Chain A
Amino acid sequence: MTTQMDNMEQSARTLWSDAWRRLRRNRLAMICLWVVIFYTALAAYGEVVYRWHQWKDITPSYQQTDLDKQYLPPSLFRQPFTVESGAEVGVMERMSSGLRELARHPLGTDGLGRDVMQRLIQGTRIAYMVGIVVSLIAIPIGVVLGCLAGYFRGRVDDVIVWLYSTFAAIPGLLFILAIAMVVGRGLLGVYLGIGLTIWVGLCRLIRGEVIKHSERPYVAAAHALGLSHARIIFRHILPNVFHVVIVTFTLMFPAAIGTEVFLSFLGIGAQGEPSWGIMISNARLRLWHGVWWEMAAATTALFFIVLAFNLLGDALRDALDPRLRTGRQ
């Protein structure tokens, strides 16, 4: 009796709630989801700080240089052990002044005395901007072209397959660098460079899925009802292949972030803004002098967001498309 009830309940669930239930059971995926939410909040906070300073037209604290505070490490004992007026400074005193400093710059300061944590948050903002704008460029291109190719086949298919084969044949990183170079230094070049190359994988996947779905009875029924092509593609087929878009998005996002870091590192990406790539590029030279915290902060932040998105993407794929599940029984 209970099993029957369970079955009935299961059949009533939609694809999305079913996937959500499966995702909820995956503890690792939930941790990753929280990490992503945390980063998103940081990025939103960074955006607010950025906008506020722009609106007030003042130099934000993450850009203010303070040469008295160069290279403050994120540790309690950062003042040298000094002897003042014959009396040794007590451990407690040093601790308390250290704590005060630590509260002001929890992750230390960089070579120009700028707060590393503030810069890290701004870096998160830029990383999110890149991830979002790149997805906004790449996903529409990939989805529309993939749907058109898979649905209409024939000539349309030939042209679109030719287009993405051409894009796929060009060595990826060089292509991105070339686009960014042509557009010019700055984030616009990064958006376009990554966005105009990363859609190929999505387009290919969507095309394959749409071809499969075009032969299903529900599409034939839609044809028989005399629905327009646009309606069949976007109202009937697309919702059925949309999980591909979501999974691709979660994997595209970290890829875009990683590439932005690379471009900014080379000096082609963000200009004058604290992107993670620029932080790594600055910190690289200082690393050789033992200033490890700026490098550690930027690389750790980068690592965890990419890791969280990658693991989440895997879990989402398993949850949304059980047939693709690796290790199916």
Chain B
Amino acid sequence: MGRYIIRRIGQMIPIVFGVMLITFILFNMVGGSPALAILGRHVSPQALEEFDEVRGFNKPLIFGWWSGTRAYDAETDFERHAGPWRAVEDVEHQEAEDREPAHIRVPEGEHAIPLEFSPRAETGFRWVIEYRLAPDGSAALLYDAESDEIDDERVEQREELAPSARWTRARIPFESGETPGELNMRLVVEEGAPLEIRAMEMQRRANHPLDSQFTFYIFQTFKGDLGYSESANQPIARMIREGIGPSLMLTVPIFLIGLIVSISVALLCAFYRNTWIDRMLVVIAVALMSINYLVWIVVGQYLAAYRWGWFPVWGFESWIYLILPISIGVLSGLGIDVRFYRTVMLDEMYKEYVRTAFAKGVGKRTVLFKHVLKNAMITVATNVVIAIPFLYTGSLLLESFFGIPGLGYMAINAIMSSDVDVIRAIVLIGAILFVVANLLTDICYALVDPRVQLK
């Protein structure tokens, strides 16, 4: 038994990992820069970099050594303008022509590379430059981490750009100095034809290739830090703690009442199976199922709360406010549940032990309520445990329509204001609960039913 549990937990881990990966890919890779979205465009690149640094956004996404930095904050190619080089004298911007891509021309002389701010100390960086240089030309990258002026006698480092008549890409690594002072970088074009640059990018080296946003996210999650909601200006963990109560107040009664009613109706169907009562109940169940959830809520709220005035329309002040949403929730879920439990009961009715019981002269009522119901409970219990994690997310629509401040309401608000972290946290917790509930059902199954093999 112990080994079985350990093995099932072992199967659980990849699924949790998968959920984290998928939500991560969904929200981080496809969405734009969170720093820009939150701080706006009118903030200095240094502030953006610091924002990213705190939240780990300046790391490679999933795996890799290199990631971008805002120190050389530019479009990586010169498609529209010369980027930061606009401020540098002599440097010309050439627009795209025929087959020539847009590029900049750096004439002879020394040119300081326009950096937005001096990058972090003691960090590896590299330039990725796509350039063209006539064979008789000579150009180099000079940099000195310590002083403002580059002294010819003690130049820290000098990297030659190999001449090439065709566009070539060079990767030039360098280290920033020990103190976070000025990093003086110059592009020196010494003689011959000017240097032409098609694209230029500055990248930062990570400590190790796994030091990525994804691992940062995983560690953050394991520490229990779910992040910070920018739209609500609160830690997400606190929002979830506060929202879970109202959500459960709504979903638990819906679940329990729905369960009792649908099992009773299903038993009724089984008792009168293949008569007009059964058929009518099934058609009603399908009809209930076919009414859109949205319609249930909109029409229910209009009729019962507004038109007839039986219930309050909106709010969360006392239990009276919950009656209407709960009834709507029960009614809308009834169709599917009745059909499901009816199938479960009927499946059980055709088993051999039921036939035996009938053959021995046991009455229909006794068979149904004493034998069938008891055996069907195994399937029912499985279904119940699997449904439990979904109670936590609450009901998106019911909550936002009736103004119940639960997690569903929170999720809808987050979606409307594109608050990615909140949705990611809710999705992640929901998924973990689901996986855990699955594990629990399997273990209970193994404990209760001796026929389940523990292989």
Contacts and interface: CB of A to CB of B under 8 A. Distances in A.
A284 B434 CA distance: 34
A299 B299 contact: yes
A178 B18 contact: no
B18 A303 contact: no
Given A182-B30, A302-B292, A174 B15 contact: no
Given A258-B293, A280-B294, A326-B343, A173 B396 contact: yes
A166 to B, nearest CB: 3
B280 to A, nearest CB: 12
Nearest to B21: A166
A302 to B, nearest CB: 6
Residue of B31, B273, B286 ringed by the most chain A CB atoms within 10 A? B286
Contact of A170 (B19, B274, B343): B19
Interface string A81-111: 0000000000000000000000000000000
**Interface of chain A: mostly helix, strand, loop or mixed:** helix
B292 A165 contact: no
A77 interface: no
A262 B434 contact: no
Contacts of B388: none
B14 interface: yes
A137 interface: no
A175 B418 contact: no
Interface stretch (A41-49, A223-231, A307-315): A307-315
B18 A166 contact: yes
Interface string A277-319: 1001000100110000001000100110011001100100000
B431 A178 contact: no
A266 B412 contact: yes
Nearest to A179: B26
B294 A169 contact: no
A327 interface: yes
- Name, among B415, B416, B434, the residue most crowded by chain A CB atoms within 10 Å (CB to CB): B415
Contact of A310 (B278, B286, B343): B286
Given A261-B294, A265-B294, A326-B343, A174 B286 contact: no
Contacts of B435: 169
B284 to A, nearest CB: 11
B295 interface: yes
A295 B299 contact: yes
Interface string B268-292: 0000011000100001001101111
B18 A162 contact: yes
B163 interface: no
A163 interface: yes
Interface residues of B, number: 48
B155 interface: no
Contacts of A167: 22
Interface in B410-431: 411-412, 415-416, 418, 423, 426-427, 430-431
A162 B15 contact: yes
A171 B431 contact: yes
A299 B274 contact: no
Contacts of B287: 307
Contact of A328 (B19, B290, B350): B350
B342 interface: yes
Contacts of A326: 342-343, 346
Interface string A151-176: 00000000000110111111101110
A170 B431 contact: yes
Contact of A254 (B18, B290, B397, B416): B290
B290 A299 contact: no
Contacts of A268: 415
Given A181-B415, A311-B286, A314-B286, A165 B294 contact: no
Contacts of B67: none
A307 B26 contact: no
A77 to B, nearest CB: 22
A317 to B, nearest CB: 11
User: Which of B278, B295, B342, B427 has the most A CB atoms < 10 Å from its CB?
Assistant: B295
A9 B57 CA distance: 70
B358 interface: no
B19 A169 contact: yes
A244 interface: no
B320 to A, nearest CB: 21
B94 interface: no
Contacts of A280: 294-295, 298
A174 B427 contact: yes
Contacts of B274: 327
Interface string B281-318: 00100110111111100110010001000000000000
A314 B285 CA distance: 12
A323 to B, nearest CB: 11
24 contacts: A163-B18, A166-B22, A168-B434, A169-B431, A169-B434, A170-B19, A170-B23, A170-B430, A171-B426, A171-B430, A171-B431, A178-B26, A258-B293, A262-B292, A262-B397, A266-B415, A266-B416, A280-B295, A288-B306, A303-B292, A310-B289, A311-B283, A326-B346, A328-B350
5 A-B pairs with least C-beta separation: A166-B18, A307-B290, A171-B430, A306-B290, A169-B431
Interface of B: 14-15, 18-19, 22-23, 26-27, 30-31, 273-274, 278, 283, 286-287, 289-295, 298-299, 302, 306, 342-343, 346, 350, 390, 393, 396-397, 411-412, 415-416, 418, 423, 426-427, 430-431, 434-435, 438
Given A169-B438, A171-B430, A262-B292, 17 more contacts: A28-B283, A163-B18, A166-B15, A171-B426, A181-B415, A182-B26, A261-B294, A280-B294, A284-B298, A299-B292, A303-B290, A306-B291, A307-B287, A310-B289, A326-B346, A327-B274, A328-B350
